[in-house]
Amino acid sequence: DLFSNDFIDMDKVESEWSKLQQILEKKWKLMEEQIPTLQGRIQADESRINERIKKLDNYWNEKNPEKANSPSEALKILNEANTQLVNVKDDYIRNCKAKELLDMDIGDPNRLNPIEEQIASLREVWNALNNIFSRVESYKDTPFVAVNPEKTKKEIEEALIEINNLPPKIRNYEAAEIV
């Protein structure tokens, strides 16, 4: 005998295959019925995400720290904006992927990149200026009688040299003028 007793009868295989196809067909129909509900949820989620993006845009336009008074103030604003951005960007990208899976019109997954780039650039600027600013600011708390003019002049000249040695990318920001 060519086949051993371990082999399953062809009728049994066909029967099991038919059952599997029926199960898959039922599951597919259930899934098809759920698609409009999922699409509605995704659109509602998109509306909430768009509101959060609008809120982030408003925050950024109002608080943009390019002209902040100090690095600490600017970095605080940048951290808050970045936190909002990270949260909304993850949700936005997830929403775009879900819409793509359900053959819905997807938004631009790079929509938030300009704000992200601005935050990164300004963070680089303010971090570079923070050291210089701290040294200059330390003179505010120094009593006038304790000021050593030669030392002060030397430190201010060093700070100016540091500012002039900053890359043009950083010096082109108004923040460099504030220091």
pLDDT tens string 62-115: 998 988 888 889 999 999 999 999 999 999 999 999 999 888 998 888 899 999
CA distance 116 to 122: 10
Output the pLDDT for position 178: 65
**CB distance 42 to 96 below 8 Å:** no
* Residue 1 confidence (pLDDT) above 60: no
pLDDT tens string 20-74: 999 999 999 998 898 999 999 999 999 999 999 999 999 999 998 988 888 889 9
pLDDT tens string 125-145: 898 888 888 877 777 777 778
**Contacts with 121 (C-beta within 8 Å, 6 or more apart), sequence order:** 169, 173
Phi, psi of 88 (to 5 degrees): -75, -35
CA distance 8 to 17: 13
The pTM of the full predicted model, rounded to 2 decimals, is 0.70
Q: Closest Cα partner for 106 from 115, 114, 98?
A: 98
